Structure 1
């Protein structure tokens, strides 16, 4: 008879363990999804960083072009000084020629400066966008960390509740078994007395 009670108790424990496994799998699945979302956010941030790096490269390239243009302009100004030394012979011709050259170089310089200004504006926009995205992603990561902490606490609470429930069921089963054992002893005592035997003498 006690063996049958023990078998029934084991069946209940198995069912509770199944529910516990399902809850654990659900929590682990949510945790893995959260980790995957964080990895996707990190990849997105890496792409933004690459865009910023390319913008910096464009800025350096435009600055180099500006320096080369300024160097060319300076070289032409030196040529102008040399030509001015021979102004008595070709004053009007050289003045017109150098005027055209200077105008072209100044136009090129102005165009280069405009391009540089555009590049700097683009860089500023990209930098601000990067900072905004970084801030948003940091906030998202903080939110995810809070969710993860909450999930961990829920998981611990579920484990504690499950363990308390198991202990309570074990205690109930133990008390029931003791009551049944006491009842069996009383019945055995009565049977022995019916047969004229004294249980205390056995």
Structure 2
């Protein structure tokens, strides 16, 4: 058998007060529960907002990353285009310089050919002049020699000598 519980008898006044306290505690507890539920609801809403913001920020970060990648690619494309234009410009300038150099070489070669022709002409003219001067000198020499020969023959014949015998 179990021991008997002692039941205290609470006077009625105390009992009413106790019920009032209990009722006040219950109301306070209900208010505390309502406040906690509101607090939980606010926290849940805050969590949903934060999660939504996090998802939005991730999406925006992804969009910004894609935009950055596109900008980089565009920059590379523009830079590549500029490099190709610069290369074409450099090629044109080099080709122009080569053409100018070839033209200068051709002009100098033409001048050299003309000078060679002129020098050949001068040389031929000089040689022709020298040949004709030598011819004239030889002719004078022959004429002088013939004149001397005839004078000596004449002198030898005056002395009665035959030039062929001598």
TM range (shorter): 0.5 to 0.7
Q: CA deviation at 1:194?
A: 4.4
Q: TM-score, structure 1 length as denominator?
A: 0.50
Between the aligned partners of 1:177 and 1:144, the Cα distance in structure 2 is 48
Q: How many residues are treated as equivalent by the alignment? A: 113
Matched, 1:102 2:29: yes
| Residue matched to 2:97 | 170
Aligned to 1:136: 63
Q: 1:158 to 1:87 in 2, by over 3 A?
A: farther
Q: Aligned with 2:98: secondary structure?
A: helix
Provide Cα deviations, 1:13-66, integer angstroms capped at 9, x if missing partner: xxxxxxxxxxxxxxxxxxxxxxxxxxxxxxxxxxxxxxxxxxxxxxxxxxxxxx
Q: How many Å separate the matches in 1 of 2:21 and 2:97?
A: 111
Change (3 A) 1:162 1:197: farther
Where does 1:72-87 land on structure 2 (aligned, <5 Å)?
A: none
Per-residue displacement from partner, 1:50-87 (whole Å, max 9, x unpaired)?
xxxxxxxxxxxxxxxxxxxxxxxxxxxxxxxxxxxx99
Task: Specify whether residues 156 and 197 from structure 1 end up closer, same or farther in structure 2 by C-alpha distance, changes over 3 A only.
Answer: farther
Secondary structure of residue in 2 paired with 1:94: helix
Q: Structure 2 regions of 5+ residues with no counterpart? A: 1-7, 128-166
Q: Which has the higher helix share?
A: 1
Say what the alpha-carbon RMSD is for the aligned residues. Answer: 2.3
Shift of 1:137: 0.3
Q: CA deviation at 1:187?
A: 2.2
Task: Determine the C-alpha separation between the residues in 1 that align with 2:67 and 2:97.
Answer: 45
TM-score, normalised to structure 2's length? 0.60
- Which structure would you say has the larger RCO, counting Cα contacts within 8 Å and 6 or more residues apart? 1
Q: Say which of 109, 112, 117 aligns to 1:182.
A: 109
